[in-house]
């Protein structure tokens, strides 16, 4: 702080004295309520004078006027607006000899988990002044701001340490004259004291408006910039409270001046001065949040206008970010790009998660401008604008007219004079003949800026006369496409220019035409330059071709990407249907077909392999997915080739792995049709596509469609390839897995046994496929509750894989995990937990901490600890696993949803239902949104939520959920599915908990009968059903039926599980209790 800059303020109209600070040679910052009684805008005179230092006479009052705000704010409703800028207008004013210019500071917002810290602060003001020439009690007010509580409601609370409370005077408040003093933290100006004159605040506490809040108001920022001191906020450091790097939106600040603005399409900008002024006025209204839309025909220059405004006013904002709002996917991509730029690199999250992070960052930080370019309709961005309604500035461009949040700015066509000016500046032709033809050309082009810019660029580059260009337009009138939207005249104009421009490009740079035709099959924005580079083996030639396309305004070129207007893409993808004599040679069926083949091949080369499991390749998939989807959408399925089929298969695999099952099924169905059309229904590729489609149905939980397709595929492969072909054996295994998923173990197990026998006969005992079959058969035995057969197979499988594949092979790790799971199911946790621990250690060492298999191992170890009752070790592992799954796989991945369910279950086991129930509720909502209401995992989530409600004693919410789940499982999975039997048991338990034994006992009896019939007498679930039925008889007082059931159950448990199994111990306790009750 420079005490020479401390100022006294006097408002003659309101007879109010206050404090201020000279932030430039003639600009004073103070509190607005000090001068709010000043007259109208033409008479808002106030007086100011410098602080008289010790031994100096009082300085002379000089005139000043209120420069900002232009309109009086309502500080009673919004105390954040209590600040003003005064311009000293007196010609006799002499500013003090100043040192460095004022530096601006920003206090950090509190972040979760942060530790309380203090930041020192100081202000100089006149706390007791109440008259123009009255008593002066100048105070240097020293104090501190507490980091966790010092920004309540967005205002700074400063605690005073270094000055005594002013003595009582005739002033309204003992601190009244200090209002308007600036608050400094170190050398940074952090806020303006605004303690209200009418309030009697505690003597050790003052309130200030943060400078960061004022910086969010463009009027304030632009006024200071115009005075010669650009407002660049610096962070005010606080004592370190954590060794962890910042990660939340509160913790991370953007680099000053951060932006991603594209370059201006042309430096020539005419006929838009009025529109630019109107837009600037609308965007700089004194409000915390402004949404302004610019609408007009395609090609009218909406994007150009927005770019000029953004570039011109970029320094008035803390951050400016450009979003291509064509599609929801592109909005997510560009918001994710903001997160990446703020962090300085990739975060490891999915694009959707990064986009959510960016929205939360924008909600917290002020002073930004967001441009949403080419929004289709208000509904496409309504959710985003709603989330940011109270923050920042939003500038939207769209062809759509109605339904925007505020009155949109309509951008008309250029006037004839402006069109002539634009063509003249672009072509530099000023002779009378050129001017005559330029006026005629502007009329023919409909005064559409994009068409005029393209024409002017062509004329300038080709050095032809404007009259000759008009003649070319008449000779080559392009046709509009069949899918032309509203505003077809601009499209026709651009179609005509397409032919002329391409002729010129083809004469000098044929490669440029190939690039444009190929890129036309991709998404219009953010096409990686590297994607198209293989079209030539000469990097210099590629760069030259891109520069030529940019010179003719056919593309927008950035450092790493290029963009093409979507209408140019449409024309480039559409064959010319005119007569042969006038056909466009650049748009023949042959050239367009070749371009589509090139686009497909280039994508296949760039996309990583194994898209469903290759985590390292996911960032590339996220970047290229919009282009794959655009190509598949634009290409007619009847034109699909083998390469298109492969792109369909790989894209479906990636989407399936990301949990986007619906779109994956759509692509896989198209793959089946394509392969059958190209090669016939009996070709190996068709059979493979059918198998993949069945797997997609199975992933979606649609077993009614998956199983018949698996059966058909297996039958076809038996007929065509023979029963011993590796593909036939794989189909048999897949069919068995589908039967198992449907709970039909009577059909699954014989198929697994047959498959193992065949694999051993054909491939031998040591072949990896044989070992996989052995593992699958063991899993089927375990699902059937036959652990006596499952565990030896698992043990043999682990031994064989260690011997053949080695200890570090992923398949060996899988075998160890499965064996541990079988031990856990048998209640032998002393053997299970060490195996799980070893498996996690090996996964981390071999595959890395972020591999999906490592995450699964961590989850399984947590489950084993939970089974052992060791929740102190289980819950932290579950929490870590959920955090890792969200970071690596994304919030919507099926494995993430499973992790959240497991964590909720652990909380429930620990009796912490306040944490468990919200997680279960969130998980059910997410499962329904992502997987659908009928997916088996969704039904499981509903069952678990019902159980949590039951545990909390909320049977009014639990029972309807149990009933709904039972109904849905019977409809979807069938009456005999193990999950359906579990639902029947759970509903009976809920009725019993509610004391409704008349409904509970018949359900328990039916459940026991069904489980004995379907699963067998020795299955663990059957033993549990018998125990539950005995408990219901006991609750009803019918011990004559309860005790024999308990005795039979205990005998079976001892035989199946042994004495130490948890189920055996539970049944023993129940029998003892029943007998003591009977006695």
The answer to whether residues 601 and 656 belong to one domain is no
CA atoms of 580 and 678, how far apart (whole Å): 30
**Long-range pairs of 553-559 with CB within 8 A, sequence gap ≥ 24:** 553/265, 553/266, 553/450, 553/453, 553/454, 553/457, 554/454, 554/501, 554/505, 554/512, 554/516, 555/516, 555/519, 556/262, 556/263, 556/265, 558/262, 558/263
Q: Which pLDDT band, with edges at 50, 70 and 90, does 580 fall under?
A: low
Q: What is the CA radius of gyration of the chain?
A: 37
User: Which residues are CB-contacts of 578 (< 8 A; sequence separation ≥ 6)?
Assistant: 479, 584
Contact 97, 109 (CB under 8 A): no
The total of structural domains in the chain comes to 5
Three-state DSSP class for residue 157: strand
1055 and 1007 in a common domain = yes
Beta partners for 139? Answer: 125
10 lies in the same domain as 154: yes
Q: Would strands 156-160 and 139-146 be described as parallel, antiparallel, or unpaired?
A: antiparallel
- What DSSP designation does 640 have? -
Residues 481/584, Cβ–Cβ less than 8 Å: no
Longest dimension (CA), the chain: 120
Give CA separation, 850 vs 839, 893, 898, in Å. Answer: 15, 15, 17
Chain mean pLDDT for the chain = 85
CATH number where 531 lies? 1.10.10
Tally of CB atoms within 10 A around 656:
23
Which of 181, 203, 235 delimits the end of a domain?
235
- Asked if residue 424 belongs to a domain, the reply is no
Q: Give whichever of 259-273, 287-301, 331-345, 748-762 has the largest mean pLDDT.
A: 748-762
Residues 42 and 188 in one domain: yes
pLDDT of the residue at 112: 65
Interatomic CA distance for residues 238 and 232, integer angstroms: 19
Q: What is the pLDDT of residues 1018-1033, one digit of tens each?
A: 888 899 999 999 999 9
CATH number at residue 20: 2.40.10.10
The answer to whether position 805 is within a domain reads no
> Is the domain of 226 the same as that of 110?
yes
pLDDT score recorded for residue 169: 44
Report helix, strand or coil for 824.
helix
For 336-383, write each residue's pLDDT tens digit: 999 999 988 888 788 888 899 999 898 878 889 999 998 877 888 888
CB burial readout 1018-1028, b (16+ within 10 A) else e? bbbbbbbbbbb
SS3 content of the chain, % helix, strand, coil (to 5): 55, 10, 35
User: What pLDDT sits at residue 497?
Assistant: 45
Would the pLDDT of 471 be above 70?
A: yes
Enumerate residues 6+ apart whose C-beta is below 8 A from 39: 13, 45
Residue 928 lies in a domain: no
825 vs 1068: CA distance, rounded Å = 19
Give the per-residue pLDDT at 176. 60
Do residues 384 and 515 both lie within one domain?
A: no
- Write the DSSP string, 645-697: HHHHHHHHHHHHHTT-HHHHHHHHHHHHHHHHHHH-TTSHHHHHHHHHHHHHH
Q: Is residue 729 part of a domain?
A: yes
Nearest to 674 by CA among 713, 632, 634: 632
User: 730: closest CA among 676, 681, 694?
Assistant: 694
- Under the banding of pLDDT at 50, 70 and 90, the label for residue 40 is very low
Q: Is 772 inside any structural domain?
A: no
Mapped onto helix, strand or coil, the DSSP state of residue 526 is coil
The continuous run of DSSP H or E covering 902 comes out as helix 894-909
DSSP state of 406: S
Given 410, 433, 451, the domain boundary residue is 410
Judge whether residue 863 has pLDDT over 70. yes
638 burial (CB, 10 Å; 0-12 / 13-18 / 19+) is exposed
Q: How far is CA 869 from CA 46, 612, 874, 906, in A?
A: 75, 35, 9, 10
State whether 614 and 673 are in the same domain: no
Domain containing 1061 — which CATH number?
A: 1.25.40.10
Residue 241 lies in a domain: no
pLDDT tens across 978-1019, in order? 889 999 999 999 999 999 999 999 999 999 999 998 888 888
- Going by pLDDT thresholds of 50, 70 and 90, the confidence category of residue 29 is very high
| Integer Cα distance of 705 and 809 in angstroms | 35
SS3 assignment for 167-229: CCCCCCCCCHHHCCCEEEECCEEEEEECCCCCCCCCCCEEEEEEHHHHHCCHHHHHHHHHCCC
**Domain-located, residue 692:** yes
pLDDT band of 405, cuts 50, 70, 90: confident
CA dist 790 and 794 (Å) reads: 6
Domain boundary among 725, 742, 759: 742
Residue 244 pLDDT > 50, yes or no? no
Residues 162 and 193 grouped into a single domain? yes
Q: How far apart are CA 949 and CA 952, in angstroms?
A: 5
DSSP state of 116: P
* C-alpha separations of 362 from 148, 250, 372, 379, 390 in Å: 21, 10, 14, 20, 10
* 561-563 and 139-146 beta bridge pairing: unpaired
Which structural domain range is residue 523 located in? 494-575+592-625
Cβ atoms of residues 586 and 513 within 8 Å = yes
What is the per-residue pLDDT across 1028-1066, written as a single tens digit (0 to 9) for each?
999 999 999 999 999 999 999 999 999 888 888 888 989
Q: Which long-range contacts (CB under 8 A, 24 or more apart) does 901-906 make?
A: 901/940, 901/941, 901/944, 902/859, 902/862, 902/863, 902/878, 903/875, 903/878, 903/879, 904/944, 904/948, 905/866, 905/944, 906/862, 906/866, 906/871, 906/874, 906/875, 906/878
- Alpha-carbon distance of 542 to 519, in angstroms, equals 14
Question: CA 124, 126, 128 angle in degrees (round to 5)?
Answer: 145
For 196-206, the pLDDT digits (tens) are 444 444 456 78
Same domain, residue pair 130 and 198: yes
Question: Which range has the top average pLDDT, 126-140, 243-257, 404-418?
Answer: 404-418
CA distances from 656 to 534, 667, 703, 930 (A): 29, 10, 16, 11
The Cα–Cα gap between 552 and 266 comes to 11
**Residue pair 696/661 in contact by the 8 Å Cβ criterion:** yes
pLDDT at 434: 94
pLDDT of residue 847: 84
Q: Which helix (H) or strand (E) holds 141?
A: strand 139-146
**Which CATH number covers residue 317?**
3.40.50.300
Residue 464: per-residue pLDDT: 87
**CA separation for the pair 925, 453 (Å, rounded):** 51
Q: For residue 1006, give both structure tokens.
A: 């039916």
Q: Is 828 helix (H, G, I), strand (E, B) or coil?
A: coil
| Average pLDDT score over residue span 401-424 | 87
Question: What is the per-residue pLDDT across 671-727, written as a single tens digit (0 to 9) for each?
Answer: 999 999 999 999 999 999 999 999 998 887 788 899 999 999 999 999 999 999 999
Q: How far apart are CA 833 and CA 869, in angstroms?
A: 12
Q: Which of 85, 174, 99 is nearest to 135 (CA)?
A: 174
Give, in order, the Cα–Cα distances in Å from 33 to each of 8, 36, 208, 249: 14, 5, 13, 33
pLDDT at residue 162, rounded to an integer? 61
Within-domain flag for 763: no
What phi, psi does 16 have (nearest 5°)? -120, 135
Q: CA 105 to CA 93: how far, in whole Å?
A: 28
User: Do residues 617 and 640 share a domain?
Assistant: no
Are residues 30 and 65 located together in one domain of the fold?
yes
- Nearest one of 223, 171, 202 to 29, comparing CA atoms: 223
Question: Do residues 222 and 138 both lie within one domain?
Answer: yes
* pTM of the complete model: 0.53
Q: What angle do CA 895, 670, 351 make, to 5 degrees?
A: 40
């Amino acid at each position: 702080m420079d005490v020479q800059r401390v100022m006294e303020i006097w408002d003659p109209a309101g007879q109010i004295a206050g404090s201020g600070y000279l932030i430039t040679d003639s600009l004073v910052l103070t509190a607005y309520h000090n001068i709010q009684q000043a007259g109208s805008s033409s008479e808002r005179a106030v007086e100011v004078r410098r602080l008289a230092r010790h031994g100096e006479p009082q300085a002379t009052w000089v005139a000043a006027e209120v420069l900002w705000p232009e309109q009086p704010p309502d500080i009673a409703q919004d105390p954040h607006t209590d600040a003003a800028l005064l311009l000293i207008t007196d010609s006799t004013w002499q500013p003090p000899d100043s040192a460095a210019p004022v530096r601006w500071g920003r206090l950090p917002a509190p972040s979760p988990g942060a530790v309380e810290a203090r930041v020192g602060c100081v202000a100089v003001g006149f706390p007791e002044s109440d008259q123009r020439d009255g008593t002066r009690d100048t105070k240097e007010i020293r104090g501190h701001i507490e980091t966790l509580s010092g920004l309540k409601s967005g205002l700074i609370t400063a605690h005073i340490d270094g000055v005594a409370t002013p003595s009582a005077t005739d002033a309204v408040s003992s601190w009244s004259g200090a209002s308007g003093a600036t608050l400094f933290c170190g050398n940074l100006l952090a806020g303006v004291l605004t303690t209200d004159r009418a309030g009697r605040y505690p003597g050790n506490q003052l309130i200030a408006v943060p400078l960061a809040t004022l910086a969010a108001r463009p009027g304030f920022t632009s006024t200071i910039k115009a005075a010669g001191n650009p407002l660049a906020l610096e962070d005010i450091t606080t004592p370190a409270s954590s060794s962890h790097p910042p990660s939340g939106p509160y913790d991370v600040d953007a680099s000053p001046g951060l932006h991603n603005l594209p370059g201006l399409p042309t430096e020539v900008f005419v006929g838009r001065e009025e529109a630019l002024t109107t837009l600037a006025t609308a965007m700089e209204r004194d409000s915390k949040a402004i949404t302004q839309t610019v609408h007009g025909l395609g090609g009218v220059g909406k994007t150009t206008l927005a770019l000029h405004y953004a570039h011109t006013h970029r320094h008035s904002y803390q951050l400016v970010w450009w979003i291509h709002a064509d599609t929801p996917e592109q909005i997510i991509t560009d918001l994710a790009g903001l997160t990446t730029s703020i962090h300085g690199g990739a975060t490891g999250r999915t694009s959707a998660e990064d986009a959510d992070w960016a929205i939360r960052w924008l909600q917290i930080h002020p002073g930004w401008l967001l441009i949403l370019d080419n929004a289709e309709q208000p509904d496409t961005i309504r959710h985003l604008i709603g989330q940011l309604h109270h923050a920042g500035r939003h500038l939207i461009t769209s062809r759509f007219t109605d339904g925007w949040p505020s009155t949109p700015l309509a951008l008309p066509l250029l006037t004839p004079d402006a069109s002539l000016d634009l063509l003249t500046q672009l072509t530099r032709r000023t002779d009378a003949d050129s001017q005559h033809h330029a006026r005629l050309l502007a009329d023919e082009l409909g005064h559409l800026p994009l068409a005029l810019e393209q024409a002017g660029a062509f004329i300038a580059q080709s050095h032809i006369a404007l009259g000759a260009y008009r003649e070319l337009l008449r000779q080559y009138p392009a046709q509009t496409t069949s899918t032309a939207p509203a505003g077809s005249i601009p499209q026709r104009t651009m179609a005509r220019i397409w032919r002329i421009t391409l002729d010129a490009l083809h004469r000098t740079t044929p490669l440029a035409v190939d690039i444009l035709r190929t890129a036309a099959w991709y998404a219009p924005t953010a096409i990686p330059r590297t994607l198209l580079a293989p079209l030539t083996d000469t990097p210099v030639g590629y760069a030259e071709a891109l520069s030529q396309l940019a010179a003719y305004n056919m593309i927008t070129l950035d450092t790493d990407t290029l963009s093409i207007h979507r209408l140019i893409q449409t024309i480039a993808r559409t064959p010319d249907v005119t007569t042969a004599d006038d056909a466009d040679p650049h748009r023949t069926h042959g050239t367009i077909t070749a371009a589509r083949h090139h686009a497909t091949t280039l994508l296949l080369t760039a996309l990583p392999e194994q898209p469903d499991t290759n985590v390292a390749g996911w960032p590339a998939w996220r970047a290229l997915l919009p282009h794959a989807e655009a190509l598949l959408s634009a290409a007619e399925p009847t034109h699909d080739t083998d390469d298109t089929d492969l792109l369909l298969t790989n894209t479906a695999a990636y989407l399936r792995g990301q949990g986007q099952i619906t779109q994956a099924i759509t692509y896989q169905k198209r793959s089946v049709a394509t392969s059958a059309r190209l090669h016939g229904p009996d070709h190996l590729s068709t059979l493979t596509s059918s198998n993949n489609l069945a797997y997609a149905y199975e992933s979606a939980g649609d077993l009614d469609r998956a199983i018949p397709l698996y059966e058909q595929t297996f039958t076809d492969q038996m007929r065509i390839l023979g029963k011993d072909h590796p593909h036939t054996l794989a189909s048999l295994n897949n069919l068995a897995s589908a039967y198992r998923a449907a709970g039909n173990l009577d059909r699954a197990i014989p198929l697994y046994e047959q498959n193992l026998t065949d694999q051993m006969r054909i491939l031998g005992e040591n072949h990896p496929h044989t070992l996989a079959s052995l593992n699958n058969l063991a899993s089927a035995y375990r699902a059937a509750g036959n652990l006596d057969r499952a565990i030896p197979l698992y043990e043999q499988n682990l031994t064989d894989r260690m011997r053949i594949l080695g200890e570090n092979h992923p398949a060996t790790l899988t075998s160890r995990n499965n064996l541990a799971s079988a031990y856990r199911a048998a209640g032998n946790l002393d053997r299970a937990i060490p195996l799980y621990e070893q498996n996690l250690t090996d996964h981390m060492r071999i595959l890395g901490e972020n591999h999906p298999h490592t995450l699964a191992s961590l989850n399984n170890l947590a489950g084993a600890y939970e089974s052992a009752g060791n929740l102190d070790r289980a819950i932290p592992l579950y929490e870590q696993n959920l955090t890792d799954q969200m970071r690596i796989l994304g919030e919507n991945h099926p494995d993430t949803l499973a992790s959240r369910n497991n964590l909720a279950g652990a909380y429930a086991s620990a009796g912490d239902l306040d944490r468990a129930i919200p997680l279960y509720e969130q998980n059910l909502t997410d499962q329904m949104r992502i997987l659908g209401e009928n997916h088996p995992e969704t039904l499981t989530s509903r069952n678990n939520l019902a159980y949590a409600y039951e545990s909390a004693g909320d049977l009014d919410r639990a029972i309807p959920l149990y009933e709904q789940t039972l109904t849905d499982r019977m409809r979807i999975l069938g009456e005999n599915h193990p999950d359906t039997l579990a639902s029947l048991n759970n509903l009976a338990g809920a009725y019993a908990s509610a004391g409704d034994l008349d409904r509970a006992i018949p359900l328990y009896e039916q459940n026991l009968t069904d489980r004995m019939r379907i699963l067998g007498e020795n299955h663990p679930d059957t033993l549990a059903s018998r125990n539950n039925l005995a408990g219901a008889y006991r609750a009803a007082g019918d011990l004559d039926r309860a005790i024999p059931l308990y005795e039979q159950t205990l005998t079976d448990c001892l035989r199946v599980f042994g004495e130490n199994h948890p189920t055996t111990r539970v049944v023993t306790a129940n029998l003892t209790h029943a007998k003591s009750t009977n006695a």
